[in-house]
């Protein structure tokens, strides 16, 4: 079954449709993996969310930081950012169903020798450990008390993993790593505020610190990193919403499909 992994959409529904045409997507035959950040900053977040949800079993999607932002906005736990384009979702007649569907998406997906996560994994986490930790977050998101979890989600502390973490701190570290991480120290301290050129000397790209003999990771979240197709990393955020491209990679043979994007926001990350 051909599996196409697709980069960050961020509300670029027209580009998604063009990309699906580019590889002649057939829902009876193909599967789609989405690296998360389906929504926000682009012009058609509502359309994008409806489209991906309508794909049903043909699509797998992990949660990204913008998806969490939408869930928190909907509950009143996050402030509206100047470049948010989420109001059309919050005001839609099917908002509840869409948000409920989004909240039930996984943090991590592992299948056929590949692991997908939105941003990254910490150096101490093997794939099997990360899988178990992802399930702790998924359980909290699907539990009756999920609003309390979302209320305690935001924050950058603690900034490192410890096995004895409990409660909201434990879940917050898991979410921050899987949905926000770019740089960390070799000891696994997350440097969430670090951008391109202001990285301290001990900052490492998270994927340079992965334990050996782990399966390749499919991810997005890092548009300034650009497309990376290597043995252990398939990084697919090619900056669609910034005027770059939307990328699909067929995992079986690494065939690459891309469509150009109009550019709805000024470049940044």
Applying CB under 5 A, which residues contact Mn ion?
37, 64-65, 221
C-beta closer to Mn ion: residue 37 or 159? 37
Nearest approach in angstroms of CB 254 to Mn ion is 23
Q: Which is nearer to Mn ion, 112 or 263 (CB)?
A: 263
- Euclidean distance between CA atoms 223 and 228, whole angstroms: 11
Compute the least distance from the CB of residue 24 to Mn ion, in Å: 28
Residue 169, classed as helix, strand or coil, is helix
Q: What are phi and psi of 11, to 5 degrees?
A: 80, 15
Closest separation between CB of residue 3 and Mn ion, Å? 21
Helix axes 167-180, 65-75, angle to 10 degrees: 130
Which tokens belong to 152?
């305690």
Residue 86: what are its φ and ψ, rounded to 5°?
Answer: -105, -10
Q: Which is nearer to Mn ion, 221 or 245 (CB)?
A: 221
31 or 41: whose CB is closer to Mn ion? 41
What are the φ and ψ backbone dihedral angles of 95, each rounded to 5 degrees? -55, -45
Secondary element (H or E) of residue 128: helix 127-142
| Closest approach of Mn ion to the CB of residue 133, in Å | 19
Between 129 and 180, name the residue whose CB sits nearer to Mn ion.
Answer: 180
In the bound state with Mn ion, the residue whose beta carbon lies nearer, of 40 and 258, is: 40
Give the residue with the Cβ less far from Mn ion, 65 or 85: 65
Q: Of 129, 131, 125, 126, nearest to 111 (Cα)?
A: 131
* Shortest Å, Cβ 42 to Mn ion: 13
In the complex, minimum distance from the CB of residue 178 to Mn ion, in angstroms, rounded to a whole number: 11
Measured between alpha carbons, how far is residue 65 from residues 107, 111, 118 in Å?
11, 22, 8
Closest approach of Mn ion to the CB of residue 112, in Å: 24
DSSP line for 83-103: T---HHHHTSTTHHHHHHHHH
176-193 burial, b at 16+ Cβ within 10 Å, e below that, comes to bbbbbbbbbbeebebbee
């Amino acid at each position: 079954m051909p599996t196409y992994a697709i980069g960050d959409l961020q509300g670029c529904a027209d580009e998604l449709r063009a990309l699906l045409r580019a590889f002649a997507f057939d829902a009876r035959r193909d599967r789609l993996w989405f690296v998360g950040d389906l929504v926000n900053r682009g012009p058609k977040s509502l359309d994008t969310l409806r489209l991906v949800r309508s794909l049903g079993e043909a699509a797998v999607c992990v949660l990204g930081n913008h998806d969490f932002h939408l869930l928190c906005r909907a509950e009143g736990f996050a402030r509206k950012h100047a470049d948010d384009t989420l109001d059309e979702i919050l005001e839609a007649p099917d908002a509840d169903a869409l948000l409920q569907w989004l909240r039930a998406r996984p943090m991590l997906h592992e299948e056929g020798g590949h692991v997908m996560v939105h941003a990254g994994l910490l150096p101490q986490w093997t794939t099997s450990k990360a899988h178990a930790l992802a399930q702790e977050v998924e359980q909290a998101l699907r539990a009756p008390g999920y609003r309390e979890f979302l209320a305690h989600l935001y924050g950058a502390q603690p900034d490192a993993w410890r096995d004895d973490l409990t409660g909201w701190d434990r879940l917050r570290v898991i979410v921050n790593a899987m949905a926000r991480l770019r740089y960390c120290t070799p000891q696994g301290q997350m440097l969430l505020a670090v951008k391109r050129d202001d990285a301290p000397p001990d900052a490492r790209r998270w994927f340079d610190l992965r334990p050996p003999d782990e399966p390749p990771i499919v991810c997005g979240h890092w548009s300034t990193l650009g497309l990376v197709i290597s043995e252990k990393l398939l990084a697919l955020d090619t900056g669609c919403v910034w005027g770059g491209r939307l990328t699909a990679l067929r995992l079986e043979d690494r065939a690459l499909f891309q469509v150009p994007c109009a550019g709805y926001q000024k470049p940044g990350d």
